Amino acid sequence: MKLKELYLILLLSFSFIVTSNSQVSVPLTKNDLNDIRRERDFIKTMNINLSQTWLFMVRDNIISSNKLLISEIVYNNDGLPYKMYFFDENREINSFTVVKYNKELLPFEEIRFNADSVLINGIMYEYDDNDLLSKQINYNNKAEIISILTNNRSNDSIYINDYDSNNNLKEKSIIVLDNINGADLIMKTLKLDKNNEPVQKQIFEYDKMSSLHKKTIFENGTNTGYKDFVYNEEGALLKSSLYNAEAMLISSTSYEYDQYGNIDRIIERAEEDNNTKVFMINYLTKVSSDR
């Protein structure tokens, strides 16, 4: 597995349900767990210690002469991201995140700080006997718990309850799974309010290679649009496009890869204002890294 799969996982993840503030991947299914482990092993084997993401703006086919450093990810000796820096327009650190891992090399805490190392907030994770996420605990800048999400599993579904700090139920989510060709694929997600009224629904369709090719989105029972995905012959994601309910293109994202199959360029285009963002990703080793 290469870094392109990591970005695909992040792109297709369902963080709106369980990890809305998370900056690392946590396993919801056995497929997620296997992907995370393969990704970790690949980064370790490639001796990748640092990745940088730079942003170029393009308007009317003219690329800006200025490039912005957006973020840096520092990897530990196990091939896991343990520190993430986020920068302002002057390339000064705006905030950073520290990630701690358990003995199974899964994240058990994300801690966010501002540039002066003052706590912003954090997330703690707990796992079941199969190393799948069972609980997420969110806390604020005073280290006070502000919400808790619990995961309960059946053979074909994951039931998620979101509680506030007083243990009052805020909303529920359901992830419906189907095992196809030995893989647990997410077929549908539902978000419900505390009265079991549907707030959001997403339906997922896959191709014969079990790659997601379409996601249809419903808000409060109304179809608001869909997203489709295009892959190359090797199964790497080339492009995703977002359409409204009338099939009019809203935005698109394209992906390019280096010789090792790692994604090194992401191009985001918004149709409404004719603006394009180009994200360039550099991967560095201890030899080439200065941090």
The 3-class SS string of 188-206 reads EEEEEECCCCEEEEEEEEE
pLDDT of 8 reads 45
Least confident of 77-91, 201-215, 273-287: 273-287
Instruction: Give the residue-averaged pLDDT of 249-275.
Output: 90
Residue type, 275: N
In a domain, 290, yes or no: no
Q: What is the CATH number of the domain that holds 8?
A: 2.40.160
In a domain, 190, yes or no: yes
In a domain, 289, yes or no: no
CA atoms 57, 61, 63, 69: torsion sign: positive
Residue type, 200: Q
Instruction: Give the residue-averaged pLDDT of 246-260.
Output: 93
CA atoms 120, 126, 131, 132: torsion sign: negative
Strands 93-101 and 81-87 come out as: antiparallel
Which helix (H) or strand (E) element contains residue 11? helix 3-12
Least confident of 14-28, 218-232, 266-280: 14-28
Residue whose tokens read 């290469």: 2
Least confident of 1-10, 61-70, 120-129, 268-277: 1-10
In a domain, 139, yes or no: yes
In a domain, 151, yes or no: yes
Number of structural domains the chain divides into: 1
Instruction: Give the residue-averaged pLDDT of 262-279.
Output: 89
Q: Are 39 and 5 in contact (CB under 8 A)?
A: yes
Question: Which pLDDT band holds residue 93 (cuts at 50, 70, 90)?
Answer: very high
The torsion of the CA quartet 211, 22, 256, 266, rounded to 10 degrees, works out to 130
**Domain interval for residue 153:** 3-284
Average pLDDT, the chain: 87
In a domain, 110, yes or no: yes
In a domain, 291, yes or no: no
In a domain, 92, yes or no: yes
pLDDT in tens, 94-153: 999 999 999 999 999 999 999 999 999 999 999 999 999 999 999 999 999 999 999 999
